Amino acid sequence: MTLHVKPPISEDVWIDHPQGRIFARIWTPSTDQRRSPIVLFHDSIGCVELWRSFPAALSAVTQRRVIAYDRLGFGHSAPRGDKLPIDFVADEAKTYFPIIREQLGLRKFVAFGHSVGGGMAVNCAAKFAADCDALISESAQVFPEERTLQSISNAREQFKDDKELERLRKYHGAKAKWVLDAWTESWLHPEFASWSLAGVLPQVTCPVLAIHGIHDEYGSTVHPEMIGKLSRGPSHVKILPDTYHVPHRERPELIVSLASEFLASLSP
């Protein structure tokens, strides 16, 4: 479905990080009212370009700046030569997001994360609790559920076909194989089996909206339910019928509407 909204002005920027340059894109609505911007955290094989038209629509409807960035090793950002650490979800909030905040001049913000980006958004909301005005998780995982691991195993087999890997090269270029391995080998690593957001969620004190598709192939509804239950701020759990793992692409107008209504309900 096409979103019929007036696109905001977009600007590409670069963040200088000690480990390499990080690419970001900022959408600013024509009537920007200086509300806290929404920061988008992409999924395991995602990037700025794969958000497609969603950030522009989100910015136009919420009348907030929207900031999306490619994690190091993804999209337009610099490549990585190392493997992701086992604590890579929490590490995004410790090693990368603080520098992104500093260089973009972000104080208050809204964290919006899809899939594993939802876990990173949770960690950012917890680490910077005083400055995070709200958290929106979409298809986020709280722990490595069997459904999650089985779907990742299936995807790893599918990507052995070079035609499948070619799809990743369109967005990640020569980094595509690294991106794939960063996803599959990290999640399927035996040491990652004990990973969980259960200890982090109680540190989230802002309002929370947890969105999840009932047919999500990468996680059951136990995940949004845990996010709503364990976070300490007021929480809203929204389970969507007829929806799978990428609601913002499957039902963009609905996700924009849910996010806009949720943010509008917050105290100024």
Sign of the CA dihedral with 54 first, then 55, 57, and 61 last: positive
Q: How many CA atoms lie within 13 A of 73 on its CB side?
A: 19
Q: What is the mean pLDDT of the chain?
A: 95
Residue 268 has pLDDT above 80, yes or no: no
| Model confidence pLDDT, tens digit, residues 125-158 | 999 999 999 999 999 999 999 999 999 999 999 9
pTM: 0.96
**φ/ψ of residue 225, rounded to 5:** -65, -40
Residue 2 has pLDDT above 70, yes or no: no
Residue 3 has pLDDT above 80, yes or no: no
| Model confidence pLDDT, tens digit, residues 215-239 | 999 999 999 999 999 999 999 999 9
| Model confidence pLDDT, tens digit, residues 23-46 | 999 999 988 668 999 999 999 999
Query: Domains in the chain and their CATH numbers?
Result: 9-264 (3.40.50.1820)
Residue 76 has pLDDT above 70, yes or no: yes
The whole-number pLDDT of residue 239 equals: 98
| Model confidence pLDDT, tens digit, residues 98-133 | 999 999 999 999 999 999 999 999 999 999 999 999
Residues 6+ apart with CB under 8 A from 180: 45, 156, 159, 165, 168
| Model confidence pLDDT, tens digit, residues 175-203 | 999 999 999 999 999 999 999 999 999 99
